[in-house]
Structure 1
Amino acid sequence: MNFKKIILTIVIAVYGMSCGKDYLQLDNPNQQVITTYWKTENDVIMSVNAIYQGLYYDGTFLRFAQCALDFRGDDMMSPSPWDVLSNTGSFKLFNNTIMQQWLWIAFYGGVTRSNFVLSNIDKVPFKDQNLYNRLKGEALFLRALNYYYLVTFFNNIPLITKFYEKPEEYYPAQVTPEVLWNQVYQDLDEASKLLPVAYSGADLGRATKGAALAFLGKSYLFNKKYDLASAKFKEVMGLGGYDLMANYGDNFTDEFENNKESIFEIQFSREAGGITVGWVSSPGADWSKTTARAITFAPAPFGWNDAAPTQWIVDEFKKEKTKTGDDDPRLRASIYYNYPGCELYGQKFATVYAAELGKLGVKKYGNGGGKFLDEKDWRSGINERLMRYSDVLLMYAECQNELDHRAESAKYIQRVRNRANLPDREAEFAALTKVQMQDRISHERALEFALEGHRFDDLRRWGWLQDPNKLTELKSHDAEFNSFVPGREFFSIPQAEMDANRNLKQNTGY
């Protein structure tokens, strides 16, 4: 039994939070209640498992989180006929759409489950102090992870750090983003001191010390705290055990999951549970522990074609040849396009798209290697890698540039380039100005993390959406940016939440 299957042993499900509703009402007399539940170490283990379960819902990483993260970048667009998805990519979502509502409910559900554990863990007499530390660390990490996505999606949100018991507590006001980020820093810092460096056997895939440090560094970087971020990334590098996979494409299949480059990934599996896709509600024994990313992103006729790479990112890959004169190998690992020998799902690209040879399709996190005819059973078992070691290296390089250590920055940029067999330009990069190096890092990150949901957050924290020249550049990369309105770098607060809680105020731009 591994961690993917352990999640199926959950006996509690703490539901997603809506500020105006009481989700603690359990009318089933066969279900446990708070006053009788917290007795043993195993009760806490199952409760922590329930937090991980929250990452499997449609509003988190079953499907919608990837769409929200990916579609707004200039490396991807959404040709989806479903306006919820296509409007996400073109910044046209308004108050009454389900994208914002599902993200809010599902990620706040993770916060609520984390608070459930953190508010009750000390009621249980632990015999094993290491187990107590690990479980508390996991709950802190997962609360911070859920808040990390909530604040980057919505910016102005309530901060909830306890399990509410009184009706008057159900209507919290928003806090400033700075207050929220401070909680994320605090939780991740404490988690990093409690979590183990690694796991084995059935626990493989749980949050580690490296995961907490990496997300803490990324959170600092997001807020331009470059010295603090740099120190945390350096700690991750000093842990040992992490390195780049020799083959870049091995990071996006089910064959090399939890590899040496992976710092934190969500554990999906076709073998765990049943075949019922668990969209919402309390998890059941027949639920599949799979993701709908593949069918959503795969090109038609193999999937729904709700996502497509932009021509700009393909052209960006082709700007520089490898040492042997070939295209950057990350291009073919990421995107289906018309090149000699391109095949997908056991068929030749040129045959399938004979009338549309300019078509571009998403390859990353898909099952097009030949084992499956298509994605239409909705059940991909490929783990979602939320943090890779290459991200730590390039974020560290970015910090070093901002701290005016150009030579150090260039060294780590070239380390990532070496895997792609790109020419050694370390000395050239070390001589760049800060602004030139910022542009170089933008290019390198675009290629290393194409179609992985990082690009829009990068653009936002670099201030490109507020820079008229950069915004014009983005419009030339992806026409969806033509409908960008200032303020819509964040989603609107869901209208259902506004209706339920009068203390909430809408984000600007809506």
Structure 2
Amino acid sequence: MKKYFFIAFALGLIFLVSCEDFLTESPQTEISVNQFFDSPDDARSVVNALYRDGAGANSYNSGGFRGSNVMIGSFMTGFFDNEAKGERIEGQLAQALQQDPVNFNQFAGGWWNDMYRVINRANLVLSQVEKIDGIAQTEKQNLIGEARYFRALNYFTLVRLFGDVPLIVEPFEDLSDAFVERSSSSEVYNTIVDDLTFALNNTTFPDVPYGSGNNGRITKGTVAALLAKVHLQRAGFPQQQNDGYTAAANVATQVIQSGTYSLIEHGVDVDEQSAYNIMRTTQQTPEYIWSIEYDGDISTSQYPRITVPGVVRPTGIKYSRTLNMYRPIDQYINIYDPELDLRIQNKQLFFNSIEADGEVFEYGEYAPYVWFEEQAIFETARGSMNLNITRYSEILLIAAEAIARSEGVTAEAVGYLADVRNRAYWTTDRSDIVAELNSLSTEQFVEEVLKERYRELALDFVAWYDIQRTRKYPTTSPDNPGEVTFVNVIGANNNWGQTFSEKDLLYPIPDDEMQRNENLTQNPGY
């Protein structure tokens, strides 16, 4: 039997076994399908590996000085800065809009290879799991659903970053099988939708919030939320898929109407027990749909380390070095109304000072407070809080936008947007918010949803994707904080003295991939 090889897979298959509530990993050497897939545990091991490498390691892990891969898009928006960008050039290149196939090669090429490695592991599961004896059909369907979910997730990232990409749905029989031409974005999106639709309709995934007794595995809500995101992105530029907004609205409202999820409510003390502080300190709530799992002993989070500016060194900090690697610049802070919006108050989504031994140290800038962990900063230097990727508030905003774009400003759309805004505008009566939203045209209402996405999802790494799909760029003024005006992104200034062009909306195909695969063509403008 032919052996199947994995692209960039010389480090071998990753086996994972359950360790209480956390998946731990144990690397093995390269191995053929015939040798490996001979027991149910073999299939489970490869699927378990997808939970670590399928999203966390290749997109969200934040080690070193660059930050996580998903942060680069935020730097391209011009709204975020990295204190350590002088030590890893990708952030500077993104802000300067000077990315090209060579200088982005290490960053983009590494991410490209990581995602195709995951895709090939998923393809391996899909090609073999039905042949294995000793697995109940229900479990087989769930393993297939998990593999298809992670394949869809990685293709969704690829198609947003690079546009047309090679579409590979079978495991490689030889490395040359990976060197194929780019498929159209439409074909890639069709595969993504097919994968997620299967995972949603043909599995017995539990319908529970993230982490609610299912050891951090995929739920129905996880799949549906990603499918709603896919439809929303595809409905915008450049695909402008027919009925895309209707599809996004349908899936998002299914999640809402399931009754599984709800927004976190504020506690009695809104300063320390606000919903945003509960997010910072709580691993499981009905608002969480999907998170990247971390553990202080097994797989630590680096996010606490990047919440304290390096120039501020209070005594007692356990990290050898801290850096503000995801700093919202003033133009972004001005998206919030400081008189109305709780999210921009100190120690909510962001903070601008730290207290140690009774002394307050002022930052002189903002840093992400949601990622701040007292225990990691002052005791262990090991972050243990999960990173929330998809929350119920995002689904409410997807539904509000998609309904408005497909049906108009309905009471349902207004209600969903009002739910999110009312939590943030904690001193404003909800009826006043609803009345104001009801008075808007469809275009005005959609812009209010977009504003709320920038405010609510500031630390969810979605801003660049919103700019891509809407072709709208938010502008603010220090004289009128909270007022946001949208302009065409093409020709807009990115706050670092650079002007967006059409080519900037996609990353360049990495030079190494262009050299290895003669079937590839480069994105326009590079």
Normalised by the shorter chain, which TM-score bucket? 0.7 to 0.9
Asked if 1:418 corresponds to 2:422, the answer is: yes
* Matched residue SS, 2:504: coil
Given that 2:354 and 2:362 are in contact with CA atoms closer than 8 Å, whether structure 1 keeps it comes out as no
1:205 aligns with 216
Shift of 1:250: 4.4
Report how far residue 50 of structure 1 moved.
1.2
- How many angstroms apart in 2 are the aligned matches of 1:330 and 1:220? 34
The one-letter amino acid paired with 2:95 is: G
Q: Please state if 1:362 is matched with 2:365.
A: no
Unaligned runs of 5+ in 1: 14-25, 27-31, 273-288
C-alpha distance in 1, partners of 2:89/2:376? Answer: 32
Distance 1:315 1:3 in 2: 45
Take 1:200 and 1:452, find their aligned partners in 2: how far apart are those partners? 19
1:408 equivalent in alignment to 2:412:
yes
Q: Give the unaligned 5+ runs of structure 2.
A: 1-16, 63-67, 236-243, 266-273, 312-320, 475-484
1:387: how far off? 1.1
Q: CA–CA distance in 1 between the matches of 2:448 and 2:421?
A: 12
Residue in 1 aligned with 2:322?
303
Higher mean displacement: 55-64 or 92-101: 55-64
Are residues 1:334 and 2:349 paired?
Answer: yes
| Superposed displacement of residue 347, structure 1 | 7.1
Q: Does 1:233 align with 2:252?
A: yes
Deviations 1:6-25 (A, max 9, x none): 52245658xxxxxxxxxxxx
Alignment of 1:42-441 (within 5 A): 42-55=41-54, 59-63=58-62, 64-79=68-83, 80-81=85-86, 82-96=88-102, 97=104, 98-193=106-201, 194=203, 195-198=205-208, 203-224=214-235, 225-246=244-265, 247-250=274-277, 252-253=279-280, 255-272=281-298, 289-296=299-306, 298-301=308-311, 303-318=322-337, 320-321=339-340, 327-328=342-343, 332-337=347-352, 342-343=353-354, 349=360, 351-353=361-363, 357=364, 359-367=365-373, 369=374, 372-373=377-378, 377=381, 379-406=382-409, 407-420=411-424, 421=426, 423=428, 424=430, 425-441=433-449
Contact 1:4 1:269 in 2 (8 A): no
Deviation at residue 163 of structure 1 after TM alignment:
0.3
How far apart in 2 are the matches of 1:506 and 1:374? 48
Query: Alpha carbons of 1:228 and 1:343: their partners in 2 closer, same or farther (altered >3 Å)?
Result: same
Structure 1 residue matching 2:172: 3-state secondary structure: coil
CA–CA distance in 1 between the matches of 2:408 and 2:369? 36
Check if 1:494 corresponds to 2:510: yes
Could you tell me whether the CA contact under 8 Å between 2:467 and 2:489 is conserved in 1? no
121-130 or 147-156, which deviates more? 121-130
The alpha-carbon deviation at position 200 of structure 1 amounts to 6.8
Q: 1:236: how far off?
A: 1.0
Alpha-carbon distance between aligned partners in 2 of 1:154 and 1:54, rounded to the nearest angstrom: 20
Amino acid in structure 1 at the alignment position of 2:172: Y
Question: Structure 2: which amino acid aligns with 1:271?
Answer: D
- Measured after TM superposition, the shift of residue 105 of structure 1 is 1.4
Does the 8 Å CA contact 1:291/1:381 hold for their aligned counterparts?
Answer: yes
| Contact kept in structure 1, 2:44 and 2:143, CA below 8 Å | yes
TM-score of the two chains, using structure 1 as the length reference = 0.82
1:471 aligns with 2:482: no
Kept after mapping to 1: 8 A contact 2:292/2:387: yes
1:284 maps to none
Structure with more relative contact order (C-alpha pairs < 8 Å, separation 6 or more): 1
Report the CA distance between 1:182 and its aligned residue.
Answer: 0.6
What value does the CA root-mean-square deviation take over the aligned residues? 2.9
Q: 1:262 to 1:328 in 2, by over 3 A?
A: closer
Q: Could you tell me which amino acid in structure 2 is paired with residue 45 of structure 1?
A: R
- Write out per-residue CA displacement over residues 359-394 of structure 1, whole angstroms, 9 at most, x where no aligned residue: 222323232x4652399x5x4222122211100000
Identity of aligned residues (%): 22
Closer, same or farther: CA 56–472 of 1 in aligned 2, 3 Å: closer
User: d(CA) in 2 for partners of 1:297 and 1:66?
Assistant: 17
Letter in 2 for 1:310: I
* Structure 1 residue 290, shift from structure 2 partner: 2.3
Distance 1:488-1:374 versus aligned 2 partners, 3 A rule: farther
Maintained 8 Å contact 1:70/1:76? yes
Pick closer, same or farther for the CA change 1:465–1:75 going to 2, 3 Å.
closer
Please give the alpha-carbon distance, in whole angstroms, between the structure 1 residues aligned to 2:395 and 2:199.
Answer: 18
Question: Would you say how many aligned residue pairs link Structure 1 and Structure 2?
Answer: 458
